[in-house]
Amino acid sequence: MVFCDEQPKAGHGLGIVSMPEMLRYSCVLAIHTLWLAARLRGIGVGWVSILEPGVIRALLDVPADWSLIALLCFGYPQDPSQTPELERRGWQAREPVTNRVFDR
């Protein structure tokens, strides 16, 4: 589980003065880095977001000012593939990168 401490002592509030959501974005960036490091080692990662945050919070008894960011599953894939599972199962096809990245 990844939680975000919404009242961190480190940093003296610098960086979240005008945009407090930066705290959560920083957590997501850390997840991204962890994800890349795992994949480099052949470890698969799954992010589970269809869950009830309140139930998870109660189960783990986390401090009140920690917000739930992610439940991550790590493991060695039984069926490694270069094609994401969501694409293989027909949920959504891959888009050309030019649909999302613009050079103007």
Ligand X SMILES: Cc1cc2nc3c(=O)[nH]c(=O)nc-3n(C[C@H](O)[C@H](O)[C@H](O)COP(=O)(O)O)c2cc1C
Nearer to ligand X, 36 or 86 (CB): 86
- Neighbour order of strands in the sheet with 66-75: 2-5, 66-75, 44-48
* 10, 19, 49, 95: which one binds ligand X (CB under 6 A): 49
Nearer to ligand X, 48 or 60 (CB): 48
93: contact with ligand X by CB under 6 A: no
Nearer to ligand X, 52 or 61 (CB): 52
84: contact with ligand X by CB under 6 A: yes
Termini Cα distance of the chain:
39
Alpha-carbon dihedral 60, 63, 68, 71, rounded to 10 degrees: -30
